[in-house]
Amino acid sequence: MTLSRHILEPFEADSIVLGDALELLPRVPSKTVDLIVTDPPFAIDFRAQKMNYNRTGANVLEGYREVDGRDYAEFSIRWMEEAYRILAPSGSMYVFSGWNRLKDVLSAVDDAGFSTINHIIWKYQFGVFTRKKYVTSHYHIIFAVKNPGSYTFNKVEHYPEDVWTIKREYWKGRKKTPTKLPSDLVRKILSFSSNPGDLVLDPFLGSGTVAVVSKEMDRRFLGFELVSDYYEFARERLDLASCTGQA
């Protein structure tokens, strides 16, 4: 879908906004977004610097905004109902979740009206060392759509399996946020589930990877982030990113 200039008002395509997604999402016009890719806060006692796989804490931006576990079910349904409203009829959503709050995420996906197409496992390296339990080294990705009879799925691989082994990026000596998704992972999602010119939204931007990869792949983008240091970091990354028009 190619966006006309006014269709997203009060927002503009190819922009990111500092603010609370729960307040901003209701202002996005209905049926305007082609793809939502998001990694919401996870409601674990997340200590940003300690948990980072690259322990050079001084480079890790602090201030990551968490949601209390007791509020997670309500938080999830609130944003997902809006996600459903603003998605185009043929739109898709990819939501990341750790196992600890997965039940809330799965319930919210259903309750908001989505149809789940796949439950993908992302296997990564650098899980946090443990003494009395297995090291967590996977994440869940729920691929859901509004209309299972009509959604974008570009079969860019012949035999695309639902377990993805993709390495986290090692940003040696560079400023980073604690939960950055690898660009390759986002690129894979965009290749399968969007086309050039489509509008991609991430309501919980963090370091802005979804917006950056969207720009690189000639998609339009919109993103929200509550923490100003993360927002500024995402803006810096976006300024450096260039449109290549290809993956």
Ligand X SMILES: C[S@@+](CC[C@H](N)C(=O)[O-])C[C@H]1O[C@@H](n2cnc3c(N)ncnc32)[C@H](O)[C@@H]1O
> Is 224 a residue that touches ligand X (CB under 6 A)?
yes
From the list 16-24, 105-113, 131-139, 158-166, the region that binds ligand X by CB under 6 A is 16-24
Number of residues forming the site for ligand X (CB under 6 A): 21
> Is 145 a residue that touches ligand X (CB under 6 A)?
no
From the list 8-16, 101-109, 127-135, 173-181, the region that binds ligand X by CB under 6 A is 173-181
Sole binder of ligand X in the list 32, 204, 215, 238 (CB under 6 A): 204
H or E, element range at 102: helix 102-111
In the complex, the smallest distance separating the C-beta of residue 38 from ligand X, rounded to whole angstroms, is: 7
H or E, element range at 85: helix 72-86
In the complex, the smallest distance separating the C-beta of residue 168 from ligand X, rounded to whole angstroms, is: 10
CA distance 120 to 185: 12
CA 7, 144, 217: angle at the middle one, nearest 5?
A: 55
Subset of residues 59 to 98 that bind ligand X, contact rule: CB under 6 A: 64-65
32/76 with CB nearer ligand X: 76
> Is 230 a residue that touches ligand X (CB under 6 A)?
yes
Subset of residues 95 to 134 that bind ligand X, contact rule: CB under 6 A: none
In the complex, the smallest distance separating the C-beta of residue 132 from ligand X, rounded to whole angstroms, is: 26
> Is 139 a residue that touches ligand X (CB under 6 A)?
no
147/232 with CB nearer ligand X: 232
CA distance 205 to 201: 9
> Is 206 a residue that touches ligand X (CB under 6 A)?
yes
> Is 185 a residue that touches ligand X (CB under 6 A)?
no
Evaluate whether 28 touches 86 at the Cβ level (below 8 Å): yes
Least Cα distance to 38 among 200, 165, 169, 196 occurs for 200
185 three-state secondary structure: helix
Please give the C-alpha separations between residue 42 and each of 2, 140, 194, in angstroms, as whole numbers: 33, 12, 26
In the complex, the smallest distance separating the C-beta of residue 59 from ligand X, rounded to whole angstroms, is: 14
Evaluate whether 68 touches 42 at the Cβ level (below 8 Å): no
Alpha-carbon Rg for the chain in angstroms:
17
Residues in the chain: 247
| Chain residues that interact with ligand X, rule: CB under 6 A | 20-22, 39-41, 64-65, 177, 179-181, 204, 206-207, 209, 224-227, 230
